[in-house]
């Protein structure tokens, strides 16, 4: 008999591309590591656009979603003229959190530039941490089956 718990949650993910800018490269002629945090945000913004959970949607519902945790493993460098492909994958979780995994590829050969994960919590606009999923987010999860 089918058991709901054995049905894996649907994987939600998206891809977006960024062409490396001159000003993002450091004196060693590689992208300065801090710029990748911006690219991860590009990934989340694209995800928000694609699945209807943009920053602005959250804000209109009375919430923000600050990062509480970020882990990055740098595998390989990229430089001016390279284009990277950012893959952003939603990781289903029970807790009142949003967790994303990321893989950034060098688009030319799809070699892995970095892997990362970020965790966000929900805060009300007046700064109170939410221990349960806000209603808008619960509905969003149901809508996408995750």
Contacts with a second copy by CB under 8 A lie at 21-23, 25-30, 32-34, 37-38, 41-42, 45, 54-56, 64, 66-75, 77, 79-81
Minimum distance from residue 124 beta carbon to a second copy (Å): 12
- Please identify, using beta-carbon distances, which residue of 35 and 146 lies nearer to a second copy: 35
Q: How near is the Cβ of 33 to a second copy at its closest, in Å?
A: 5
Question: Shortest gap between Cβ of 143 and a second copy (angstroms)?
Answer: 22
Calpha distance 42→85 (Å, rounded): 11
| Closest C-alpha among 119, 122, 116 to residue 103 | 116
* Cβ neighbour number for residue 122 with a 10 Å cutoff: 23
Question: Which of 11, 124 has the CB closer to a second copy?
Answer: 124
Which one, 1 or 56, has the nearer CB to a second copy? 56
CB-CB contact of 144 with 137 (8 Å): no
Q: Do 73 and 38 touch, CB atoms closer than 8 A?
A: no
């Amino acid at each position: 008999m089918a058991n709901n718990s054995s049905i894996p949650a649907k994987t939600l993910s998206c891809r977006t591309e960024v062409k490396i800018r001159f000003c993002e490269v450091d004196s060693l002629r590689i992208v300065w590591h801090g710029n990748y945090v911006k690219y991860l945000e590009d990934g989340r913004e694209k995800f928000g656009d694609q699945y209807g959970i943009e920053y602005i949607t959250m804000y209109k519902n009375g919430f923000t979603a600050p990062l509480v945790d970020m882990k990055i493993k740098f595998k390989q460098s990229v430089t001016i003229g390279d284009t990277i492909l950012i893959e952003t994958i939603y990781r289903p979780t029970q807790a009142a959190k949003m967790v994303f995994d990321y893989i950034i590829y060098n688009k030319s050969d799809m070699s892995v530039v970095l892997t990362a994960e970020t965790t966000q919590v929900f805060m009300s606009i007046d700064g109170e941490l939410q221990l349960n999923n806000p209603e808008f987010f619960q509905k969003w999860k149901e809508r996408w089956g995750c």
